[in-house]
Amino acid sequence: MGKIIAIANQKGGVGKTTTAVNLAASLGVLEKKVLLIDADPQANATSGLGHDVETVEQGTYQLLEHSVGAEELVIETDSPNVDIIPAHIDLVAIEIELVDMENREYMLKKALGTIKEQYDYVIIDCAPSLGLLTLNALTASDSVLIPIQCEYFALEGLGKLLNTIKSVQKIHNPDLDIEGLLLTMYDSRLRLSNQVVEEVNQHFEGLTFKTIIQRNVRLSEAPSYGESIINYDAASKGSENYLSLANELIQKNA
């Protein structure tokens, strides 16, 4: 039975999509079967795995409105063992359309009912907001992984996200766990980076992943080639970091 993990943080630019794409690719290389769901209208996870967003005819939008079954929306990627349900800019409209629907927070959970059995992990790349799309992702998930960048204001907005998670646990999904906080964009030369690591470990002891994602040029180049860091440069620091994270995740869920 597949574990569904939402990668969420309403703050933009913290490495959500980078983590979704590269964690999925790393788990795939470690012989886990993975489905990545692009639930962000910017569709960066879709293009980051080599699919032209302009040619996407159906994806997460149809998944959420239940007009097409999940199985029919899955497309293969060049990453071993990784499939994706892509997104398109149309996804922006779904929040407005869902507003009047009954059980609108459960649309994704319902849509994934049958397909999650076919994968070891289902990873949802959430939009940088706490709107209905993210709410659907949290309601459908078993756990949430929160990327936090090692920069000024890193913890800003985290309280808001944790409150949202609490209310989802209370109202929609009592089984939702926090998979862990992931520190990203770490630069060991910067005092600030080290301070953030210290602060996060102090406040959230036991909740933070041991793996820290370091700043890495190859990691930021990979998406422009439509490749995960594993495919783009398997020997890079970024690749090493994400494989370490995947191993940590597998051990944690063993």
CATH code for the domain of 134: 3.40.50.300
Which residues neighbour 102 within 8 Å (Cβ) at sequence distance 6 or greater? none
Which residues neighbour 92 within 8 Å (Cβ) at sequence distance 6 or greater? 41
Structure confidence at residue 118 (pLDDT)? 95
- Residue 55 pLDDT level (bands cut at 50, 70, 90): confident
Number of domains in the chain: 1
Q: Are 171 and 163 in contact (CB under 8 A)?
A: no
Q: Are 35 and 76 in contact (CB under 8 A)?
A: no
For residue 215, pLDDT beyond 90: yes
Which residues neighbour 34 within 8 Å (Cβ) at sequence distance 6 or greater? 24, 27, 28, 81, 82, 83, 119, 120, 121, 122, 123
Which residues neighbour 59 within 8 Å (Cβ) at sequence distance 6 or greater? 38, 46, 73, 85, 86, 87, 88, 91
pTM across the whole model: 0.95
Alpha-carbon distance values, 251 to 8, 93, 128, 162, 164 (Å): 21, 39, 28, 25, 27
Q: Tokens 């995740």 appear where?
A: 249
pLDDT digits (tens, 9 = 90+) for 101-146: 889 999 999 999 889 999 999 999 999 988 899 999 999 999 999 9
* Average pLDDT value for residue range 151-156: 82
Residue 34: domain span = 3-252
The CA distance from 109 to 77, in Å, is 23
- Cα-Cα-Cα-Cα torsion 152, 157, 161, 167, nearest 10 degrees, comes to 150
The CA distance from 110 to 63, in Å, is 10
Structure confidence at residue 81 (pLDDT)? 96
Which of 149, 160, 165, 140 shows the shortest CA–CA distance to 5?
A: 140
Which of 176, 164, 133 shows the shortest CA–CA distance to 40?
A: 133
Q: At what angle do helices 158-171 and 132-140 cross, to 10 degrees?
A: 60
pLDDT digits (tens, 9 = 90+) for 84-110: 999 988 888 888 888 888 899 999 999
Q: Are 155 and 181 in contact (CB under 8 A)?
A: no
Q: Write out the two tokens for 92.
A: 């922006």
Q: Tokens 């960048």 appear where?
A: 149
Structure confidence at residue 154 (pLDDT)? 81
Q: At what angle do helices 16-29 and 237-252 cross, to 10 degrees?
A: 70
